[in-house]
Amino acid sequence: MNEKYGPLMSDEEFYNSLRSDIPEIDHCVKLFRNGKSDDADAAFFDYIRSNLDRKKYFNAISFAPEICPDDLTLKQAEEALEYNMVSCDIYHKFDGKIDWYSNHTYNNYEEWTWQLSRHRQVLDLAWIYYYKKDEKYAKCAIDILYSWIRQAVSPPIDTDGHDTLCWRTIECGIRMSVWAKVIILLLDSPFLTASFVKDFFKSIFEHAQRLSSRYTAANWLTIEMKGLYLTSLLYPFFKQSVAWRN
């Protein structure tokens, strides 16, 4: 049986999801349709680096990254460099590769696996990188995040989040808030690549599709809709960005 890797969205689906009324985006789409996929990816990467507005981002997400990170942020970033990951206040040191489906609690506490995918330590790494300009933090953040995107394949839309290990809608909403900070903090790193950025935004799209169709209620709904709203606000180059906001 062939193992699936994320994101499931194809390149054709991705470029068809973008707005052609934005000249730079239209250029990317035309390159792809003319068979120049590598050039299209590079042009999209250039667009992201040139057009993601840090001030807009940080205002939208109420984040001041220039403030010195607290001791816990630094501690958890340093732990993440060693792949010592924490969830529900319980640490586990992975041997060079994170298994996002694993559970390392003595009683198989399901929340440990679900909450590991909230990616708090990825944000810790990105914040320390932005503050210290030490590339080892950026590389680790990107490696960890990419490992999740590749391994934690998006389930069919009609799948209940509790029947997955990485795709409960509360985590989807939290990730969209976390990832919004991560991508802007890492924007200047040479470890950020065109292929990663394309797959990152494919996964963003998959998250938005899930949040817009599988939302729940009460406090979960607030978190879900915050993530979806930020996605629609900060990434207006998707055709569906307005629909997600409404």
Residue type, 61: I
CA 210 to chain centre: 14
> DSSP character for 118?
T
Structure tokens at 233: 């606000």
- Give the range with max mean pLDDT: 62-66, 89-93, 232-236: 89-93
Distance CA 117, CA 230 (A): 19
Distance CA 51, CA 103 (A): 39
What are the tens digits of pLDDT across the range 223-236? 999 999 999 999 99
What are the tens digits of pLDDT across the range 145-169? 999 999 999 999 999 999 999 999 9
Return the closest-CA partner of residue 197 out of 37, 47, 56.
Answer: 47
Q: For residue 89, is pLDDT > 60?
A: yes
Q: What is the pLDDT, as a whole number, of residue 61?
A: 73
Residues facing 55 on adjacent strands: none
Q: What is the pLDDT, as a whole number, of residue 2?
A: 44
Distance CA 121, CA 52 (A): 23
Q: What is the pLDDT, as a whole number, of residue 1?
A: 34
Higher pLDDT, 171 or 60: 171
What are the tens digits of pLDDT across the range 116-143? 999 999 999 999 999 999 999 999 999 9
